[in-house]
Structures are given as structure tokens and as C-alpha cells.
A and B are shown apart, each in its own frame.
Chain A
Amino acid sequence: DTAVSQTPKYLVTQMGNDKSIKCEQNLGHDTMYWYKQDSKKFLKIMFSYNNKELIINETVPNRFSPKSPDKAHLNLHINSLELGDSAVYFCASSHRGANPSSYNEQFFGPGTRLTVL
């Protein structure tokens, strides 16, 4: 009965490779997010999708491309991986509803630890 799941949990790859991380939520939420947590443990928003529409796109290299095939899935594809991309990536979801300023809390997945060698 996992709420927000991510695969893989660990990803070790070489510089220059292309990789994807998958995220699925079974909470019936309409909004999903990708966050990056660096070595200093700061969590920073990268992207957010509401009903498959991109609504938040922070200053992220265009090597990162989110893809949302439906409301329950938000995948993250990374091209030409660099050493600085090493971090833990978290997916999250929430219910936004009709009010874009709603207070609803976000629920996080277990994270994907990406190591670029």
C-alpha cells in the first residue's frame, strides 16, 4: 500500500550517460513534484506537474526533462550526466484541487540516490 514509490532506489552510472527515474503515486493526487537533496541535505524543488501540465520549472539545466504520462506518474530523465548531478532525488505528490493556493501537504517518496562516477 505504498503511497509514493520511486525506482530505482540506487543508481550508479558513468558521466555522460542518460538515465531515468520513475515515480508513481496511488493517493489520487493531481500534482506531482521532483526535488533534489544535495550533500548538505537541502531540499530544492525542481519541477511540478498538475494534471500532466508543467506548473513549476525552477532553474534546472535542460539536461533534466520531466515527463508525466498521466496524473499518477512523473518520471525524470537526465541526459549527459555530470558529477554534480550526484544527489538524492525525491518525488512528491499533493492534492491541489481547484484552488492553486491551497495549503495541502506534500507526501514524499523514499528517494533515489544517484551517484555519477
Chain B
Amino acid sequence: EDQVTQSPEALRLQEGESSSLNCSYTVSGLRGLFWYRQDPGKGPEFLFTLYSAGEEKEKERLKATLTKKESFLHITAPKPEDSATYLCAVKAAGNKLTFGGGTRVLVKP
């Protein structure tokens, strides 16, 4: 069965303090790894899709990378508006996404 584990569960950062979130996965036949951002009371918002090991994608202060066993979401010089829960999900055969438990990020000014 596909498994996704995210760490840490929670992360407190000072504004400007860069850090990384980890997403470890076990899946047979990875068809894509997805990062989402979820704000309280809202649905997940799509950030990135990574398809193969070595791939990297960037958006503003966020950069996602992928290896054969894990993905990292790097937050560079975060701002308070980057506070959210970041979710990682993998897709194997078909269109089923398996999500991790998320990392709650709080960026203090």
C-alpha cells in the first residue's frame, strides 16, 4: 500500500528563517508527487507537481525537489503569509492521490 510520511508535524519559524519540510514516500510506480498548501478552513491549494527524481520546481519563496524516496519543500526567507499547512501527496496507477499528514508551518514576524 502507498504510504506518505511528512516531517516535522509542526514548524515554528521566525520571519526570514529558511527551512525545509520533508515528505518520504513508499509507492510502486510513482506517477507524480504533489505539494499543496492548506489554509485554515479552506481546501488544499495546488503548488507543484514533480514527476521524476532530480526534478526541481520553484514558486516565489518555495522550492520543491524530488529524489527516489523523498521530496523536500524548501521555504526561503519565509514571511508570515507563508504560514499554512503544507501537504504532500503521491499518485501511483490511476488517479488516486495518497496524502501525508501535513506539516503545519507558523512564521512569526
Contact = CB atoms under 8 A, between A and B. Distances in A.
Q: Which of A40, A108, A109 has the most CB of B within 10 A?
A: A108
Given A56-B94, A96-B95, A100-B94, A105 B101 contact: no
Q: Which of A31, A103, A109, A110 has the most CB of B within 10 A?
A: A103
Interface residues of B, number: 25
Interface of A: 4, 31, 33, 40-45, 48, 50, 55-56, 90, 92, 94, 96, 100-103, 105-111
Contact of A100 (B45, B95, B102): B95
A94 B94 CA distance: 12
Contact of B99 (A42, A96, A105): A42
Contacts of B85: 41
B42 interface: yes
Contacts of B51: 103
Interface string B74-109: 000000000001010101011111110110000000
B31 A103 contact: yes
A101 B94 contact: yes
B54 interface: no
Given A55-B94, A103-B49, A41 B102 contact: yes
Contacts of B102: 41
Contact of A56 (B44, B96, B99): B96
